[in-house]
Amino acid sequence: MKELKASKLRIWSPTFNEEGEPDPFGQTIFSQGKASYEWWEDGGPCRMAAGEEGYIQPDICGRSKSIFFPSARQQNVVIEVINTHPPEIDTFFALLNYSRFNHLVLFYYVAEGALQSQYSKFEVNNGTLSIRAAHYLLGGHVFRNGTEVKQFKPNDRDWYDHLRETYFGTPLREKHR
């Protein structure tokens, strides 16, 4: 993975006013003044335990170099790249569970061959790595554009099916404009 030269980290979500116009600054989800983060791509270092014998393997993971275990101030960052399909049900619920324990999970929508979309973008400006994610998991909750998506289905399977069609499905059908 290309080394990112940044001394600060800002992860933010787009937000919109009453007229539906985007706020150019959005809502900061997580920010680190001195971002000494280490990043790994899909492979062994990204493997995370899921259940007694299983594991999940997100596409990109990052963690602070200065701590052993993540905290609210220095969360681990998990980026799940979505370009053809949403995560499988078991992976989604494993990621949701990790989000309860100081892991910020970002769903990074991007079309094949592209680096960004209307939902997701990263850039380095003035020493700050800025990641925009419209869809993310934080504290055991599902968010879209800074607003929590409440679970209203009677069980996990029905709720996941609903999310697959709406939360994940809409950006996939729009081909990540």
Dist. CA 38–CA 58, nearest whole Å: 15
Displacement of CA 112 from its chain's centroid (Å):
18
Dist. CA 87–CA 92, nearest whole Å: 6
Question: pLDDT tens track of the chain, all 177 residues?
Answer: 444 567 788 898 988 888 888 887 889 998 887 757 777 776 667 778 887 778 888 888 887 777 778 877 788 899 999 988 899 999 999 999 999 999 999 999 988 888 888 889 988 888 888 899 999 999 999 999 999 998 877 788 999 999 999 999 988 887 655
Q: 0.75 cut: is pTM over it?
A: yes
Residue 45 phi, psi (nearest 5): -65, -20
List 42's β-bridge partners, or say none: none
